[in-house]
Chains A and B, each alone.
Chain A
Amino acid sequence: AQTVTQSQPEMSVQEAETVTLSCTYDTSESDYYLFWYKQPPSRQMILVIRQEAYKQQNATENRFSVNFQKAAKSFSLKISDSQLGDAAMYFCAYRRTNAGNMLTFGGGTRLMVKP
């Protein structure tokens, strides 16, 4: 079974600074997808960024980028120029490419942004 681990229950960053959230996963699959979701107090999970395992290039979405290390099974999220609106729970998730493909989530990291 696949597992996703987020070792940082809480992180704090100063506004305009950069923060990196860690995620590791365990799988025997060679092809899969990885995601970072943001969950603000409204509870709705919002997709931040996704990475296909077969792609070597790290995904980037504006201020959000990932460091995907396939051999190490590591998938960290970097938030640059942090904004107050970035404060939320962040969940790392894994999804297989074949059938029966639900998302497997990590335990989450609460990000606080200090003004």
Chain B
Amino acid sequence: GAGVSQSPSNKVTEKGKDVELRCDPISGHTALYWYRQSLGQGLEFLIYFQGNSAPDKSGLPSDRFSAERTGGSVSTLTIQRTQQEDSAVYLCASSRQSSSGNTIYFGEGSWLTVV
């Protein structure tokens, strides 16, 4: 597609349930990032994938959070046993390479509400 695509756009889930958020990066982009944006806050880095290298998981807030990237393209962020503090917008981004000079393009995010 033309841009980074994320689904679902909005998700309401009950506390304790698992959720999966999907990201389709721009075709040909090898680097993929997940960020979390809580209400009125800046963006918090979660995880970063670059090609076939081991992902940088240093931003994941707890072991309830995990992410996969299959075939070097689509990524899924999974949150297990959701808590109310997980409510946020989850933004995915991609870039052509991991080089800092390359522009990072963002999707429109998945708005997660845990009730």
Taking Cβ atoms with an 8 Å cutoff, the residues of A that contact B are 4, 6, 32-33, 37, 42-47, 50, 52, 91, 95-108
With A52-B101, A105-B43 in contact, is A100–B48 under 8 Å at CB? yes
Mask of B78-98 contacts with A, CB within 8 angstroms, 1/0: 000000000001010100001
Least CB distance, A73 to chain B, in whole angstroms: 17
* B104 touching A103, Cβ below 8 Å: yes
* A107 touching B41, Cβ below 8 Å: yes
Least CB distance, B30 to chain A, in whole angstroms: 13
| Cα–Cα, bound, A85→B109 (Å) | 21
Nearest 5 A/B pairs, CB to CB: A45-B106, A105-B43, A107-B42, A105-B42, A44-B108
* B48 touching A45, Cβ below 8 Å: no
B34-89 contacts to A, CB under 8 A, are 35, 41-43, 45, 48, 56, 59, 89
| Cα–Cα, bound, A106→B99 (Å) | 21
* B101 touching A100, Cβ below 8 Å: no
* B103 touching A103, Cβ below 8 Å: no
CB contacts (< 8 Å) of A32 on chain B: these are 100
Q: How large is the interface on B (under 10, 10 to 19, 20 to 34, 35 or more residues)?
A: 20 to 34
With A44-B108, A44-B109, A45-B91 in contact, is A101–B100 under 8 Å at CB? yes
**A–B complex contacts, Cβ < 8 Å, 26 sampled:** A32-B100, A33-B101, A43-B91, A43-B109, A43-B111, A44-B106, A44-B107, A44-B109, A45-B93, A47-B103, A50-B103, A52-B101, A91-B42, A91-B43, A99-B98, A100-B56, A101-B98, A103-B33, A103-B35, A103-B45, A105-B42, A105-B43, A106-B42, A107-B41, A108-B41, A108-B42
* Chain B residue at minimal CB-CB distance from A33: B100
CB contacts (< 8 Å) of B56 on chain A: these are 100, 102
* A103 touching B43, Cβ below 8 Å: yes
| Among A37, A45, A98, A104, contact of B45 (Cβ-Cβ < 8 Å) | A104
* A96 touching B100, Cβ below 8 Å: yes
